Structure 1
Amino acid sequence: MDLSDVSLVGSATPDPLRFAFSRKKMAHAGGNVNRIAPENTQQELKDVLNSIPLAQQSRCLYIHIPFCRVRCTYCNFFQYASSKSLIDSYFEALMKEIRFKASQPWTQSTSFRAVYVGGGTPTDISAAQIKQLGDAIRAYFPLTPDCEITLEGRINRFSDEKFESALEGGFNRFSFGIQSFDTHVRRSAKRLDDGDVAMKRIQEMVAYDAAPIVIDLLFGLPYQTVEIWQKDLEGYLESGAHGVDLYQLIDMQGLPMHRMVEQGKLPHPADTPTKAGMFETGVNFMAKHHQRRLSVNHWAHDNRERSIYNSLAKTTADVLPLGAGAGGAIGDLQMMQHRKMEDYIAAIDAEQYPVPMLMRSSPLREIHAHIKSAFDRGVLSRLKLNTLAGKPLYEALMPLFEAWQSNGLVRLEGDYLVLTLAGEFWNVTLSQNVIRAMMESQHPSGKAHVA
């Protein structure tokens, strides 16, 4: 590894929180993957799903609902505008896929610890469909007694009827993308309700006292000043929500927000140093108000919020995907399902796996996943890393860790590498750089590609 490379070790600066790296990296898989020939995809999936694994490991279920009434300006996940006829056709195909995959030996061989229904906007489906989906999950899949079943969505048009239908269907956790309680910030991002409406709706659902209600807050949005961000944090406490994720706006070219900025319709979002300061404000706020930290970006108000799916999905847990655009992994197979609606429905009608892209992950997949999960928690254990690697990998990486410590990104505490506040902000960059250093150590050219 080249310890003179600032993209690897960061800059030596008095303010590593804001200036250690030029920009924050997006999370990605890490490690080389081999694409399986399309003509072999169906047989590969049939083989794995019709077998019972010798060694069972934690598993989750991910169900994708790819509809939104409006595309938010910062969103990279928009697929289809909500329409009743299209949703109905899709939901019928989704129920077929649920029955098809649930009937297979692999699926029935052990229980699922967490289920996540994401999107898109899952709450755009009808109250009857929400209940039907929840009933199907519980009827067809083996679930642990304490299985966390999350419904993601937005508060817009999520009526009491829909909420109660979800509870009747067995959903026991709800996650809402509030992003900001400030009306101007929300409207500029194409959120559909004013801030006071969002606040009132969250409080109403919390008052049911029936399931944990978790919200996302996004920092760095256009018009979102540091003062507004402080009020957003205070809004979390006022809402009574059981947990909160604090995410920073990641710049991605080609999204509506960038076009609107270029056209002068929106001011520039916050730059990286400003977002770093907002992250610091958020961390300090949560500590001041004694919120329990579950990861570098997620806090719980009480023990009701567990965030099981989000924790497991960052490990080597199996994730069985269902629905158009859903991604998942079973053993060393990684897959992405058809995003195009007609291709997805055609595959389901033909009783085929709706997977156009199947990949076999690197033999180092488990180590890479452990590194990303550890950095997401903020602590890397020497013993756990070396045990997984089967060799003293922690010691081999020590020059990189010492350089990070010198640059204020980590602390070396006995057998543990602990992220500082700056390291927590740059945690994705650091975890990807560990994987990069591992890969480069195996390639004398130093040009290993981290996929």
Structure 2
Amino acid sequence: MDISQFDATILGHRTPDPLQFAFAGKSSAHAGRGGRPLTTPEAQIARMDQLLASEPIPGRARCLYVHIPFCRVRCTFCSFFQYAASPDWIHGYLQGLWQELENKARQPWVQAAPFDAVYVGGGTPTDMSAGQIQELGQRIRRLFPLSADCEMTLEGRLNGFNDDKFDASLHGGFNRFSFGVQSFDSQVRRAAKRLDLRDAVMSRLQQLAAADAAPIIIDLLFGLPFQDEACWQRDIADFLASGAHGVDLYQLIEMQGTPMARLIEQGKQPPPAMTPMKARMYAYGAQTLEAAGLTRLSVSHWARDARERSRYNALAKTSADVLPLGAGAGGNINGVALMQHRDLPAYRESFTRTPWPIAMMMEPAPQAARDGLLKAAFDRGILDGNLWTRAGEPELFQTLSPLLKAWAERGLLELRADSAELTLAGRFWSVNMAQGALTALAGRTGAPSSLMQQHKEATHAAH
């Protein structure tokens, strides 16, 4: 690999402070590259029929993603809001979702091997009624083959998630809960249009964690308007005091067209943090969590105990097959990426013509399996050449070695004979580095984002 053709967007800058200044900014929410799109509905349906009649790729992890596209309130930073939650709309939507679950569960590809993780996301799945949540969980468990230790996550808000919904979720088979807290600070929460203030969030989180019925996980965003470094330090302290079992730390990625962007343009909110401040916030969070005894499972996720595995996130962001279910869901089958209709009328109408509500589909990128190994490695923060050799890529570490040496010189990783570990700075910039590695291997100075990357960026902003 000749790295002289690459500029600082791939190599990073030589700087005494790589944490804050190695790159100009985060390149995207997730690394990825695209394959060949299938542009006609007929081609998409024919390919889907073929995929669902095929055999799974041996040894490849499998997940289910179910999308519930309703929220009572649109958060100011969200670029993925679809529909306001109402009992009638949710009821009507679930009738179509039940049909899709039945259609897909009958297919040979689906029944051929167990699924390792299930994630019900949105939107705000906890806006469903207690009975609907329980029924969804029970239908999934009845229709789909799940592994004995399958992680089954329900995402949502703490607001409105009462004891009846918690009990119904457990009876439905959910064994992990992920809540988008974003910040505990009341001023930050008001500005972001979150529904509860700090004391209510903290009280409910402590109740759920103390019940000890399942891992309780929260997301925290850093870089929000009104969230200075002192506020972020209180957010980390509040998480530690809450008793919750795990936390994701995500930096705010500013999306055009969001309410937050308009409020900032109108002078009604201060701008979010610049990248150097977000880098310092990440470093404080990571170092404080690890000093408190939490285990880092990825560059963005920490666990308090062994029950929290973050299995879906680790698999779906990297190399697993993900069967999508519901309007706006995205996934991939045997490496073929697909997204389903976001528009509810289009989603419902599609069932009059075909069992598959596909909006877009893309064939695998060249070297998709290798790309999955790379993305998984950067997400963990460890690039293991021996693991890559066992996975069928014996030359990958050596091929990347010139780039790895350049990153080591820039303070982004520690390089060993057959492995490399990202430094704290490298973990902050892991997405840029993963995208840089994919681009370098492709022999281009830039790489198109994939269909699934676009979906993940949107859902990351929504969460």
**TM-score scaled by structure 1?**
0.96
| Alpha-carbon contact 1:93-1:345 (below 8 Å) kept | yes
SS at match of 1:101: helix
Residues 386 and 277 of structure 1: CA distance in aligned 2, closer, same or farther (over 3 Å): same
Over the aligned positions, Cα root-mean-square deviation in angstroms equals 1.5
Determine the structure 1 residue equivalent to 2:321: 318
Query: Quick one: distance in 2 between partners of 1:447 and 1:60?
Result: 30
Determine the structure 2 residue equivalent to 1:125: 128
2:197 corresponds to which of 194, 210, 213: 194
Determine the structure 2 residue equivalent to 1:66: 69
Task: Report the alpha carbon displacement of residue 391 of structure 1 after superposing the two structures with TM.
Answer: 5.1
1:374 partnered with 2:374: no
Amino acid at match of 1:40: A
Determine the structure 2 residue equivalent to 1:116: 119
Determine the structure 1 residue equivalent to 2:284: 281
Task: Report the alpha carbon displacement of residue 51 of structure 1 after superposing the two structures with TM.
Answer: 2.9
Query: Quick one: distance in 1 between partners of 2:305 and 2:187?
Result: 31
Q: Equivalences for 1:12-91 in 2 at 5 Å? A: 12-28=14-30, 30-38=32-40, 39-53=42-56, 55-91=58-94
Task: Report the alpha carbon displacement of residue 85 of structure 1 after superposing the two structures with TM.
Answer: 1.4
SS at match of 2:188: helix
| Alpha-carbon contact 1:24-1:428 (below 8 Å) kept | yes
Query: Quick one: distance in 2 between partners of 1:234 and 1:290?
Result: 13
Query: Quick one: distance in 1 between partners of 2:268 and 2:240?
Result: 32
State which drifts further: 73-82 or 394-403: 394-403
- Summarize deviations over 1:3-55 as a string: whole Å, max 9, x none: 66111111111101001111111134523410113221111111121233363
Task: Report the alpha carbon displacement of residue 448 of structure 1 after superposing the two structures with TM.
Answer: 5.7
Amino acid at match of 2:7: D
| Alpha-carbon contact 2:385-2:394 (below 8 Å) kept | no
Query: Quick one: distance in 2 between partners of 1:53 and 1:296?
Result: 29
Q: Equivalences for 1:165-244 in 2 at 5 Å? A: 165-244=168-247
Amino acid at match of 1:379: I
Q: Equivalences for 1:88-99 in 2 at 5 Å? A: 88-99=91-102
Query: Quick one: distance in 2 between partners of 1:180 and 1:439?
Result: 39
SS at match of 1:78: coil
Query: Quick one: distance in 2 between partners of 1:447 and 1:108?
Result: 39
Query: Quick one: distance in 2 between partners of 1:300 and 1:421?
Result: 18
Determine the structure 1 residue equivalent to 2:254: 251
1:402 partnered with 2:405: yes
Determine the structure 1 residue equivalent to 2:344: 341
Amino acid at match of 2:285: G
**TM-score scaled by structure 2?**
0.93
| Alpha-carbon contact 1:436-1:450 (below 8 Å) kept | no
Determine the structure 1 residue equivalent to 2:455: none
Residues 450 and 199 of structure 1: CA distance in aligned 2, closer, same or farther (over 3 Å): closer
Task: Report the alpha carbon displacement of residue 423 of structure 1 after superposing the two structures with TM.
Answer: 0.4
| Count of residue pairs brought into register by the alignment | 447
